[in-house]
Structure 1
């Protein structure tokens, strides 16, 4: 069970190894808080969808399994959207459209199709938690790097003083691609070295 959990942290990390969920990874990670919030929202959907889809795997007919998975996933995305809108309106307004897009995140559907429906529920839960934590730390790292160079802060705590000139490119989409490329290069070098 531990192996199923840790594979999402490094070996099969959704952001840095499998390159899944790139839309939110590149779009909302202008700050570490945004990355963490999107990662936690996706983790909740991964766990909820994985559990329900694992429980229903023998009930859902083979011909309609993908639409059924999407309906289950949509239910959990709606819960996340409503909770964020009610209790965290600032985060909700920043993440905006990307919350409903969790439904079509290939990470969510891929884990339901490839893992949750082919394994017992306890393994589906462990896999979902591992992949969710891996996705969350990936987005938080990406957001933290972009926030540091783009604003001089991390988690909105000012690190660099008035002397620092923010790198505006880091809070733009191009900064997401640059940061992703550099971090992927470092991680690939670590994995191969």
Structure 2
């Protein structure tokens, strides 16, 4: 193509009004395409916004579920999902220590775990603890520290209703034994 011919074509193109010379049917098609494009972009933006909102809500519920453990966790770990070292029995949770210490220190350790030394108030509970301790010495919440020979539970419960001769030992409070803590189920 020669340069003169190119300039002529350029002059013709500049002189035309593209939209005026476009047939009406082509204009309608292009207009619909542009409108479809704008609607698609708008729909995409709205969808993205919804997904973001749902994602935030899901994240919040997931955090709540992690803090308040789910029903299945409650069945597997009735004493709490983060308290797997605690054992469940008859509506209470028990901790059996792996280290030995004197009675006072054991009492303090239980209190630090928001519990107390075990108070045995039924034969079933006594059998559970006896079986679980396997003839080892474990501190429980029974003491005669106020008056030698006058036994009392740390919570004031009458101890005589569960006493079975030979099941509990009376050793000095400074003797080092394992210990059993007890607490109610978490709410």
TM-score tier, shorter chain, comes to: under 0.3
- Based on CA coordinates, which of the two structures has the bigger radius of gyration? 2
Of Structure 1 and Structure 2, which has the larger fraction of its residues in strand? 2
TM-score, normalising length from structure 1?
0.20
Instruction: Compute the TM-score of the two structures, normalised by the length of structure 2.
Output: 0.21
